[in-house]
Amino acid sequence: MAVRIRLKRIGKIHHPIYRVVVVDSRKKRDGRVIEEVGKYDPNQEPSLIELESERIQYWLGVGAQPSDAVHRFLVLSGDWAKFKGAKNVENRIRTKDEGDDVAAAIKAADDAAEKAKAKKAEAEAKAKKEAEAAKAAAESEKAAEGTPAEEAPAEEKAE
């Protein structure tokens, strides 16, 4: 049985996504596979290439032959050099700099949370201050009404 490592097309019309698969060479392009060992999405910028290096090394070791497209991926990922016995293996697949974007998003979320806390604390302080002012005003009003009211019954008792 001749085993190949090649691409299997999935996805929508005009929006292909591929899986890197190990398959018998006599099978159809999208037919039954032995094992899936990676993904390739050319629609992203930069293209997404994910390979399971250990499984690819195993299949290359037992005689599986990569297709031309998969061979290019293996050269980029350094798996082909590793298979051939090179000591210095370098992965040259470009990836998104998600670390910077994630860090910036986290920092922005933290800043927004701190601003929200500060606004909430300021609103609570303002509400507390207004409540104390209203309470003080009510007490002073009650005290102002209470003094004449206390004197009036005393005068009535005297008469």
Report domain extents, the chain: 3-84, 99-136
pLDDT of residue 157: 57
Count CB neighbours of 81 within 10 A. 15
pLDDT at 150 over 80: no
pLDDT band with cut points at 50, 70 and 90 for residue 143: confident
Which of these, 60, 14, 16, lies nearest to 37 by C-alpha position?
60
Summarised one tens digit per residue, pLDDT across range 30-80 is 889 999 999 999 999 889 999 999 999 999 999 999 999 999 999 999 999
The answer to whether 22 touches 7, Cβ cutoff 8 Å, is no
Q: For residue 52, which of 71, 77, 85, 33 has the smallest C-alpha distance?
A: 77
Q: How far apart are CA 83 and CA 60, in angstroms?
A: 7
Phi/psi for 94 (5° steps) reads: -75, 140
pLDDT one-digit tens code per residue, 83-138? 998 888 888 888 776 555 667 777 888 888 888 888 888 999 898 888 888 888 88
Please tell me the class of the 3-84 domain. Answer: alpha beta
Q: What is residue 111's predicted lDDT score, i.e. its pLDDT?
A: 84
Cis peptide, bond prior to residue 46, ω within 30 of zero: yes
